Structure 1
């Protein structure tokens, strides 16, 4: 489960700014849902989004091949600029800080109160840090509790068809391998992605349907193979005066071959419910709650806050 807050532009019908924060999946490209109806504004738009995630997954006991036990703080810096009425450029630069955490006890208590299984959390001390993978066949990484530069993403949005209340836009993105491969934050190679989004407004209602084909240029590591994968999202929302209620689902395939790496071949899936509100002009906020459906390949619980402004 995750909770996300982010300042928004004046357009309240945008999707929630949610993406996958499970570290092994962050080695590859995971799209943040977009809109075909957002204006192609020639002003520069800046966002600073923050997320704090709690993650605890062990694929086997007592000798795991993959161990992820941490809280993860992510700061996403986003810059957008439209070069024409049809073409927009975006750069996303994440900075990461994995650390021991403080929420394990509270999460266990909440799960116990509702009778929900806590899985591998009972096999690790509370508020401890570990991030390691070793398949015994030559591929391994060892994370550290320190500040990290994440994988920078460059993307473009091009309007294909635009009506008064609906539109279709083509999407393209490249993930640059700027994060550390040795510490498990990058695949060490770029990912290329092509997609499209269909957006529709009907009175106060709005929807977005998005799909991506993602090609990781890394194809093989010792004992692991990677392949092309599909991801997408569906968003539905209702806008009031200066507030919008939004529900979205996002996920799809995994770049990891299911037979090679325990659990990582499972399809990630996140379901979000949130609010997007306006403060003044082109400044606003977003608050969302994100539930993981496939916990093996998504974060467990997150809290986030951000700001957006134009120049």
Structure 2
């Protein structure tokens, strides 16, 4: 997986070096991180990334290669349920968007999803020790183990302990530019986006859910130019609903309607760099008293963007579970995008 990602990143960098006549409608400071909750019990569904509030112009392509690595360790139980999520997940996404007409774009996301015991457990324990953060039982658990297990009423309902990697659930996307005002001092935009997730990945190996999911959401940004046009300050956000058909994973515990949203801010002191922070949340995907399944998630993403050219940018982000156990302990996000 890592060799494939490296090869594709180098390919996109080569294409970017040729340049292109288009430019970004809003600065990288106004663009959300293209990622979402990577919990193994959540990322199998059609929860979308917020995405940009500006869509592609007619005849223009936007391509993305993103990679998410998430380290999970959480254990919970009550009188009827018990859950253990211990392992690392990997998600590499190939995404494309194309402007088919004025104010309208279409696209698709093809993810590759995998799980293994990983190698970050020791690093995360050291990080927690340095900053005085709770370990939550990490030090008593074996290092670099893969064990996802859920029991209800004494019966195993879900179990994954073998490393695997393969195709995830394909997503088809569309967007309509509802509003855009690119004035001399600011860029304000609102887009209506939709995503249809198809059950192309293996639900048995947690590379898909087995359900067909439809998401509809609004995304907006307000990007200000200050300091004689050399600095950007931006706000961005999104809110929407996700409707799910019956899944193969824990179908009797599944919720069929999930709300989600995000809000963030960015600061770009120069054209080539931006710093961003983003809070993302969603309602539970399952009916459960366990926080890993039945609580509303709240996740913090922070990092920035390096713009190699006006058409090519690299997002580097880290995620933390603000509401503990509702998302992975730590996640790393890399997203290389290019406009053609």
TM-score by structure 1 length? 0.87
Distance 2:247 2:332 in 1: 34
1:91-116, CA deviations, whole angstroms, 9 ceiling, x for partnerless residues?
Answer: 11111221111121222222223332
Tell me the alpha carbon deviations over residues 30-61 of structure 1, each in whole angstroms, 9 at most, x when there is no partner.
Answer: 22112223543522222111222211122239
SS in 1 for 2:325: helix
Aligned to 2:192: 170
Take 2:113 and 2:251, find their aligned partners in 1: how far apart are those partners?
Answer: 27
Unaligned runs of 5+ in 2: 1-8, 17-22, 226-231
1:228 correspondence with 2:254: no
Q: Is 1:188 matched with 2:206?
A: no
Which aligned pairs between 1:72-151 and structure 2 lie closer than 5 A?
72-135=89-152, 136=154, 139-151=157-169
Q: State the SS of the aligned residue for 1:122.
A: helix
**Secondary structure of 1:105's partner?**
helix
Alpha carbons of structure 1 residues 308 and 167: separation in structure 2 relative to 1, 3 Å: closer
Matched with 1:209 is 237
Deviations 1:163-212 (A, max 9, x none): 22212211111121222212233321111111112222232222222101
Number of matched pairs: 304
Q: By percentage of residues, which structure has more helix?
A: 2
Q: Whole-Å Cα distance in 1 between the matches of residues 206 and 98 of structure 2?
A: 31
Corresponding position of 1:160: 178
Whole-angstrom CA distance in 1 between matches of 2:143 and 2:155: 31
> 1:220-299 alignment to 2 at 5 Å?
221=250, 223-242=252-271, 243-259=273-289, 263-299=292-328
1:36 and 2:53 matched = yes
* Contact 1:90–1:155 under 8 Å retained in 2: yes
Structure 2: distance between partners of 1:196 and 1:188? 26
Name the CA distance, whole Å, in 1 between partners of 2:160 and 2:123.
27
Specify the SS of the correspondent of 2:210.
coil
- Partner SS for 1:48: strand
Could you tell me whether the CA contact under 8 Å between 1:87 and 1:157 is conserved in 2? yes
CA positional deviation for 1:263: 3.4
Matched, 1:22 2:42: no
Query: Taking structure 1 as reference, are residues 114 and 245 closer, same or farther at Cα in structure 2, changes over 3 Å only?
Result: closer
- TM-score by length of structure 2 reads 0.81
Residue number in structure 2 paired with 1:218: 246
Q: In 1, Cα distance between the equivalents of 2:291 and 2:315?
A: 35
Supply the distance in 1 between the matched residues of 2:123 and 2:179 (Cα, whole angstroms).
49
Q: Distance in 2 between matches of 1:177 and 1:97?
A: 16
Bigger mean CA deviation after superposition, 214-223 or 174-183: 214-223
Higher relative contact order (CA 8 A, sep 6+): 1
Mean Cα deviation higher: 127-136 or 205-214? 127-136
